[in-house]
C-alpha cells in the first residue's frame, strides 16, 4: 500500500493521468455526434488505464484488442460473482459436478486466470526492460527492487515474489476499475432521474468558473472546495448506488472470540458487513429512497457534512485501500462530464429505473443502457437559450 501511495494512489499529481483518460473518452464520445452508446466499456477501459499508469507506467489505446478483451473479462467477473451463491458459504461445493451448486465459479476462475496471465506478461516484459538505475519508475519497479533486497538478505519469510506481484496487479485491475465504473454509470442514471439536481450542479460549476475566471479546459482537484453542492451530489450518488451491498463480497474473520450487541461471535467467524442496510436506514438518512444531496450539506448549504454512517468504502483499518483514488476519479469524471455534457436516454422508461433496473452480484450494478451525450458548449453556440433548460430525458 505504501508503494501505491508513492506512485500516485490518491495523490494530486495522478490527476494528470485521470484527466488524460477523461479527455480521451470525450474524443470518442464527440465522434458519436450525439448517437446513443453504452458507456460502460469506455469507462472501464479508461479506469483500467489509470491503474496501468502507476502500476506499469504506460497506457493502452481503445483500439488495442488484447487490453479490451481484459476489460471485458473484468466486467464479466463482476457479473458472474454473486453474494447468494452457495459456494461463497461452502467452498467445497466447487468440486461438486452440479452447475446449480457451483454457480459461475468455473467461468469466474477462468476469467481470473486470463487476467492473471495478461498481468504476468506485462510484468515479465517490464522486468526485461529494467534499465538498472536505482530510480524506480512505477509500482512494478518498486516491488522488484524490494524483492531483490529481500533475496540478498536471505529473508525466508518475504512476501515479495513474482506470484504475489502478479496477483496484486490482477487484484488492482479487478478491484480498481469496475467499482468506480459502476458508480459512474449510476451517476448518469441519478442525474437523468433528477434533472433539477443536474441543473443545480451545472449552475454551480458555470458560476464558479465565471467568477473565478477559470481558463483551463478541465475541472481539477483544486476546484473541489468551491463546489459544495456538486460534492454533496457525488456523496448522495454513492449512498443511493450502494454498490458494495455486503462489503463488496469482502469477507473478514475475527482472530478472537468476541461479543457484539449481545451476540457471541466465535473465533475465526467469517463476517461480511451489510453496508446496504446502513445507507438506507431512515433513522440516519430520513426518506432514504429520495435522492437528496442537501442531506450532506450544512444548513446554509455552503459546506459539506459527511455523516459517520456514510461508509461506501467501509471503515477502520480494513477500509478500501483505493478510497482516495476512487474519490479523486469520481470528482474529476463527474464534474467534467457535467460541465461538458447534457444527457439523453432513448426510450428512457424501458432503460432507466434506479429502483428496479439493477443486478446484485459482486456489486449492485445498473442494467446496461444506451445514453447520448450532447456537448453543452456546441449547443450554446447554436442557441441563445442555455441548454440547461432543455429537458433531459427522452
> What predicted TM-score, i.e. pTM, was given to this entire model?
0.84
- Residue 233: is it exposed, middle or buried by C-beta count within 10 angstroms (0-12/13-18/19+)? buried
Residue 117 has pLDDT above 50, yes or no: yes
CB neighbours of residue 151 within 10 Å? 12
Q: Which residues contact 98 (CB under 8 A, 6 or more apart)?
A: none
Pairing of strands 364-366, 358-360: antiparallel
Percent of the chain with pLDDT over 70: 85
What is the model's pLDDT at position 33? 93
The whole-number pLDDT of residue 332 equals 97
Q: Does 127 reside within a domain?
A: yes
Q: CA dist 59 to 3, 17, 43, 153, Å?
A: 19, 9, 14, 34
- Please check whether residue 14 lies inside any domain of the structure: yes
Is residue 180 situated within a structural domain?
yes
On the question of pLDDT at 30 being above 90, the answer is: yes
More confident residue, 117 or 392: 117
pLDDT at 373 over 50: yes
Q: What is the mean pLDDT of residues 56-64?
A: 82
| Res. 219: pLDDT tops 90 | yes
Phi, psi for 339 (deg, rounded to 5):
-70, -35
Q: Is 220 inside a domain boundary?
A: yes
CATH of the domain at 384: 1.10.630.10
Q: Is the pLDDT of residue 11 over 70?
A: no
Q: Over the chain, what is the mean pLDDT?
A: 84
Task: Tell whether 336 is covered by a domain.
Answer: yes
The answer to whether residue 86 scores a pLDDT higher than 60 is no
> Are 229 and 200 within 8 A, CB to CB?
yes
- pLDDT for residue 391: 36
The reply to whether 394 falls in a domain is no
What the block records as the C-alpha cell of 71 is 476489460
What is the number of domains present in the chain?
A: 1
Q: Are 216 and 335 in contact (CB under 8 A)?
A: no
160/172 Cα distance (integer angstroms): 16
Give the range of the structural domain holding residue 40, as residue numbers without chain letter: 2-389
Torsion sign across C-alpha atoms 375, 377, 383, 389: positive
Say if CB 54 and CB 138 are below 8 A apart. yes
Check the annotation: does 34 bind a ligand.
no
Q: How many other CB atoms sit within 10 Å of the CB of residue 280?
A: 14
Amino acid at each position: 500500500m505504501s508503494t501505491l501511495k508513492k506512485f500516485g494512489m490518491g495523490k494530486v499529481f495522478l490527476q494528470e493521468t485521470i484527466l488524460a483518460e477523461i479527455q480521451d473518452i470525450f474524443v470518442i464520445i464527440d465522434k458519436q455526434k450525439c448517437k446513443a452508446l453504452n458507456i460502460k466499456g469506455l469507462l472501464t477501459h479508461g479506469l483500467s488505464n489509470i491503474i496501468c499508469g502507476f502500476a506499469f507506467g504506460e497506457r493502452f489505446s481503445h483500439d488495442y484488442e488484447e487490453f479490451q478483451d481484459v476489460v471485458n473479462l473484468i466486467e464479466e467477473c463482476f457479473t458472474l460473482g454473486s453474494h447468494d451463491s452457495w459456494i461463497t458459504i461452502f467452498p467445497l461445493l466447487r468440486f461438486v459436478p452440479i452447475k446449480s451448486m457451483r454457480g459461475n465459479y468455473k467461468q469466474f476462475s477462468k476469467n481470473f486466470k486470463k487476467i492473471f496471465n495478461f498481468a504476468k506478461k506485462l510484468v515479465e516484459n517490464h522486468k526485461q526492460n529494467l534499465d538498472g538505475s536505482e530510480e524506480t519508475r512505477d509500482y512494478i519497479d518498486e516491488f522488484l527492487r524490494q524483492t531483490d533486497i529481500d533475496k540478498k538478505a536471505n529473508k525466508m519469510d518475504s512476501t515479495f515474489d513474482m506470484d504475489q506481484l502478479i496477483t496484486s496487479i490482477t487484484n488492482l485491475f479487478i478491484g480498481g476499475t469496475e467499482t468506480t465504473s459502476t458508480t459512474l454509470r449510476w451517476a448518469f442514471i441519478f442525474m437523468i432521474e433528477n434533472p433539477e439536481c443536474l441543473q443545480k450542479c451545472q449552475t454551480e460549476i458555470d458560476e464558479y468558473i465565471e467568477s473565478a475566471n477559470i481558463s483551463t479546459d478541465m475541472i481539477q482537484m483544486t476546484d473541489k472546495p468551491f463546489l459544495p453542492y456538486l460534492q454533496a451530489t457525488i456523496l448522495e450518488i454513492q449512498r443511493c448506488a450502494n454498490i458494495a451491498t455486503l462489503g463488496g463480497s469482502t469477507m473478514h474473520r475475527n482472530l478472537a472470540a468476541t461479543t457484539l450487541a449481545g451476540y457471541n461471535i466465535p473465533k475465526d467467524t467469517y463476517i461480511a458487513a451489510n453496508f446496504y442496510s446502513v445507507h438506507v436506514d431512515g433513522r440516519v438518512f430520513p426518506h432514504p429512497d429520495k435522492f437528496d444531496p442537501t442531506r450532506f450539506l450544512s444548513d446554509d448549504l455552503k459546506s459539506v457534512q459527511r455523516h459517520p454512517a456514510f461508509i461506501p468504502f467501509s471503515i477502520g483499518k480494513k477500509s478500501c485501500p483505493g478510497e482516495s483514488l476512487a474519490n479523486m476519479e469520481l470528482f474529476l469524471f463527474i464534474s467534467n462530464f457535467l460541465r461538458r455534457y447534457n444527457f439523453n436516454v432513448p426510450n428512457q422508461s424501458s432503460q432507466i429505473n434506479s429502483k428496479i433496473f439493477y443486478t446484485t452480484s459482486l456489486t449492485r450494478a445498473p442494467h446496461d443502457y444506451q445514453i447520448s451525450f450532447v456537448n453543452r458548449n456546441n449547443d450554446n453556440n447554436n442557441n441563445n437559450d442555455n441548454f440547461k433548460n432543455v429537458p433531459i430525458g427522452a
